[in-house]
Amino acid sequence: MLGSLQLLQPTNVAEASGALRDFGERGKLYAGGAELLLLMRHGLLQSEILVDVKKIERLHRIAWDDDALSVGACVTHHALETHLLVREHAPSFAYAESQVANVRVRNQGTLGGNLCFNDPHSDPGTVLLVHNAAVTLGSQRGERQIPLNDFFLDVYETVLEPDELLLDVEIPSLPSGMISAYLRLHRFQRPTLGVAAAVKMTDGIIAESRLAVGCVGPRAQRLAELETKINGNSISDAKRIFAEQKNYLRDMLQPVDDLLGSADYKLYMTGVLLGEALEQAARKDGVRK
């Protein structure tokens, strides 16, 4: 059961940030509430004041600006899965959004809430890494933009300051000719493993690639070194390289045993799914609309 709570509904970023600063530990930023209310109901988190940011107009924007999609933090998973601009410019991201949980969570949960909570068993962050996405953070002190790769720190940990809000996510389009695919493995609603691959092929050879893996360890990771290793190879050679790179993958991903699978199983399946995602993207059916 939840005790009595005060609800604040600021209409701009400075007001929201000021409330977070003034109330400190007593106040919590609240978007869809899919995670926050669950934690409070189970007594894992206490709060007296909820700072509901959904009245801030900017946080609901989806737009195509100068070769990049801009998505406000309060846009829901369901809106992202169905929005025409997202399906056109970042189809694998739209597909990943369609795989989140169930329709109830997709209608309630927001992209910002998902990224800021940074539960390792999440879908959107992994595919956003192959887009070289960046996040804009804002507070009373101003705004700063940082690559998503630098935003995630560790399990449930990001670079957000206590009075800072995630405002929007910039998602550049992939380079011309590059196609992406997202694959996930799950036993329950949350993914055990999520893999994003993007590839540009020239005469059957990988000219350029991007790879990211999520859910295996503390945070979603881009695998830049592995990208360099597979460039210049065929898809079947790349699959062989993935199978040989167990030690690199273990070091990069730091797999953990948990209720969703053993570390060894996740590591083995990472190699398999990377190969499948790459092949799907190379066949040009990776783009799912």
Which residues contribute to the site for ligand FAD (CB under 6 A)?
28-36, 38, 53, 73, 100-101, 105, 108-110, 112-114, 116-117, 122-124, 160, 165-166, 189-191
- Least separation, in Å, of the C-beta of 229 and ligand FAD? 28
Q: Rounded to the nearest whole angstrom, what is the least distance from the CB of residue 165 to ligand FAD in the complex?
A: 4
Distance CA 252, CA 216 (A): 10
Residue 125, SS3 per DSSP: helix
Q: Confirm if 119 and 185 have CB atoms less than 8 A apart.
A: no
The least distance separating ligand FAD from the CB of residue 194, rounded to whole angstroms, comes to 8
122 versus 280: smaller Cβ distance to ligand FAD: 122
Least Cβ distance, residue 263 to ligand FAD (angstroms) = 20
To the nearest 10°, the Cα dihedral for 76, 80, 84, 89? 140
| Helix axes of 246-253 and 263-282: crossing angle, nearest 10 degrees | 110
Closest approach, Cβ 145 to ligand FAD, in A, equals: 14
Of 75 and 226, CB closest to ligand FAD: 75
Location of structure tokens 């169930």: 102
Nearest residue (CB) to ligand FAD, 42 versus 289 = 42
| Residue carrying structure tokens 């604040």 | 8
Point out the residue whose Cβ comes nearest to ligand FAD.
113
CA dist., res. 149 & res. 136, Å (int): 13
Q: Round the CA-based radius of gyration of the chain to a whole number and report it.
A: 19
Residue 130 CA to residue 211 CA, distance in Å, equals 6
Question: Considering beta carbons, is residue 163 or 279 the nearer one to ligand FAD?
Answer: 163
Q: What are phi and psi of 26, to 5 degrees?
A: -75, -20
Shortest reach from residue 51's CB to ligand FAD, in Å: 8
**Residue number with CB closer to ligand FAD (31 or 178):** 31
Q: Which is nearer to ligand FAD, 14 or 205 (CB)?
A: 14
Residue count of the chain? 289
